[in-house]
Every structure is written in structure tokens, then in C-alpha cells.
Amino acid sequence: MIKMDTLYQILVIDDNAVNLKLMSELLTLDGFIIKTCFTAEEALVLLQSTLPQLILMDIALPGMDGLQLTHHLKSDERTRHLKIVAVTAFAMKSDQERITAAGCDGYISKPINTRTFITQIKTYL
């Protein structure tokens, strides 16, 4: 574990409870403060009262999807500075282009590699 001076808050959005739990546990073990949401709509409500430093964004979500939510957040003065990293099984080049076009700052492919996940996350902080 790398000691950090600041407590970093990360919002993890994923409609799959197992994925959500795995990512949250890895990040919590490393000292991050974690908030979780199952849907984009839930995240929008949460973001009205708290702004994390980083959002881990599942793309395939029921209702508003992760790319729509990213586009929305990157278009809003209040939230456009938030780092957003897509975490998704969509790994084709065209998918990556859509992810970048929506405004995501980066991309981590699913299933996540539990050995390198934290290192990958820290490159965005």
C-alpha cells in the first residue's frame, strides 16, 4: 500500500453487485474512500451532494448508460473536472473510440486484473 497524503474518494458505478463488491473491497483495502451506485440515475443523485476525485464507470447500465452519464457529467461545469475511467468488457477499437468520444479519461477492461487494478487506478490520480 502506497501512503497517500490526501484521502481519495472514488465513486464506483456498476449494476453487477459482484463487480461492485470486488472493486470496492480492493480500493477500500488500499485506503480509498468508496461510494457505490448501481445505476447512472442513482449516481446523479449522489453527485448532487458529494464529488469524488474519480469515477469508475461501468458502460452497460440499465436506463441511462455509462457513456450517456459521462457525457452529461463532462458537459456540466460543476462535474467536468471529475476523472472518469470506464471499466468495461467492451474492448473493440470502436468501443474505445466511443468511450473516448463520450469524455472518459481512461479505460480499464473487464474482468479486472486484481493484481494490477490498484496500480491502474493510481495512474489516474
List interacting residues with Mg ion (CB under 5 A).
15, 58, 60
Nearer to Mg ion, 8 or 85 (CB): 85
Task: Retrieve residue 98's grid coordinates.
Answer: 466511443
Least distance between Mg ion and beta carbon 56 (Å): 12
Nearer to Mg ion, 96 or 122 (CB): 96
Whose CB is nearest to Mg ion? 60
Least distance between Mg ion and beta carbon 89 (Å): 9
C-alpha triplet 14, 4, 88: angle, nearest 5°: 20
Nearer to Mg ion, 8 or 84 (CB): 84
Q: DSSP letter at 56?
A: E
Residue that the C-alpha cell 450517456 belongs to: 68
Residue 120 to residue 16: CA distance in whole angstroms? 21
